[in-house]
Structure 1
Amino acid sequence: MKTSVATATALALALVSAPLQADPVTDALESALENYEKGDLGMTAARLTEAQKAVVALQGGKLTRFLPEAPDGWSREIDEDANEGMSMVGMGGASAAADYISPEGDHVTLTLDADNPIVTSMASMLGNPQMMAMMGELLEFGDQRMVNQDGEISGLVANRVLIQATGTASEEQMSEILGMMDFDGLAAYDK
């Protein structure tokens, strides 16, 4: 019973502090509170799930802004379904991805995953400099350390955003794209 009161209180506070303009998050939270007040816990849970999904969609959009522009002569194609794909497989968290294609046809797929089980599982390795050194060649982009494992470059930003670069492009080409990233901003991508 204490949990129910705490949940209702949290929902009420969220609604009071929410902007006056409706959006998918506030709409779902308002509906959840209405259903909770009616005693319909099933619909309350469903609406809370909708609110969570809407928040993750917003996070995915914000994460996408950190995919760098294509280098001169290259093209970039944003994967509009990356965030939805992670959600569909039950991974949660936010995702963003883009393919970069050179004039010669080499490509790099850059993936950003945040706040999900994949990040958690990789954190013990990519958050530890000794482990990274055993995994492959260490690369530095300013203060950001990453590791190249047989042509796949990976790194962890602020223990919450996993960066992976894969493809047919050379390490130098991948590094050029990675070097354009705002790692400091990425650490707080959803703020």
Structure 2
Amino acid sequence: MNRIAATAIAASLAFAAPARADDIADAIAAAKDAYASGDADATKRSLDLASQLLAQKAADGLARLLPEPPAGWTAEPAETEGSGMAGLFGGGLVVKRTYASGDARATIQLLANSPLLTQMIPLFSNPQLLGAMGKVFSLKGRSAVTTSEGEIQIVAGQTLVTIEGSASAEQKRALAEGLDLKALERFGK
């Protein structure tokens, strides 16, 4: 009897909650239908929607690479920006998270897959050029810099990491140590 009741409950739950549709696939299908019917405006709107949804999904994936707060620190939820920062950063994905410990605050920002990085990667691969930006140091085998404004910057693959805020240089460096640079390098590949 219990097995029959459990089966009936499971079946009713399966029918009560319809499967969630894939919004990206739906937008692409709508674009395809609009294109087939000759509606260029609807095709573009649907493709723009699919593009924005893809960017948001990618930004959410990038946000998961932000480190957890170290002992004694708290962190706000990550903020993500799909492609809305295109004007400021030339496209790409931006995620950031603010950390706090007492009066000290620091924000880690990740900028990924931006054309801006194409210009910055050579800078980070040459410590002498990087030295013009500030004090160079090694972070997990990669060249990093503390700028004259007190920001820490490092490039990992196609991702620029910036750590800024009122936290001390040592506190920012401790936050930087929490980054999984190998995962950041693999992001988007």
Same fold at TM > 0.5 = yes
2:185 counterpart residue number: 187
For 1:120-159, list aligned pairs within 5 A: 120-150=118-148, 151-158=150-157
Q: 1:74–1:90: structure 2 CA closer, same or farther, 3 Å change rule?
A: closer
The TM-score normalised by the length of structure 1 is: 0.79
SS at match of 2:79: coil
Shift, 1:131, TM fit: 1.3
Q: Deviations over 1:91-140 (max 9, x none)?
A: 4321110111112x111111001112443443343343331122211121
SS at match of 2:70: coil
The TM-score normalised by the length of structure 2 is: 0.80
Aligned AA (1:152): E
Aligned AA (1:33): K
Identity rate, percent:
30
1:31 counterpart residue number: 30
Q: 1:169–1:85: structure 2 CA closer, same or farther, 3 Å change rule?
A: farther
1:67 counterpart residue number: 66
SS at match of 1:134: coil
Q: 1:54–1:76: structure 2 CA closer, same or farther, 3 Å change rule?
A: same
1: CA distance, partners of 2:80 / 2:60: 11
Q: 1:101–1:114: structure 2 CA closer, same or farther, 3 Å change rule?
A: same
1: CA distance, partners of 2:172 / 2:105: 9
Does the 8 Å CA contact 1:28/1:47 hold for their aligned counterparts?
Answer: yes
2: CA distance, partners of 1:179 / 1:106: 17
Does the 8 Å CA contact 1:36/1:44 hold for their aligned counterparts?
Answer: yes
1: CA distance, partners of 2:73 / 2:188: 28
Number of equivalent positions: 170
2: CA distance, partners of 1:60 / 1:108: 20
Shift, 1:182, TM fit: 0.6
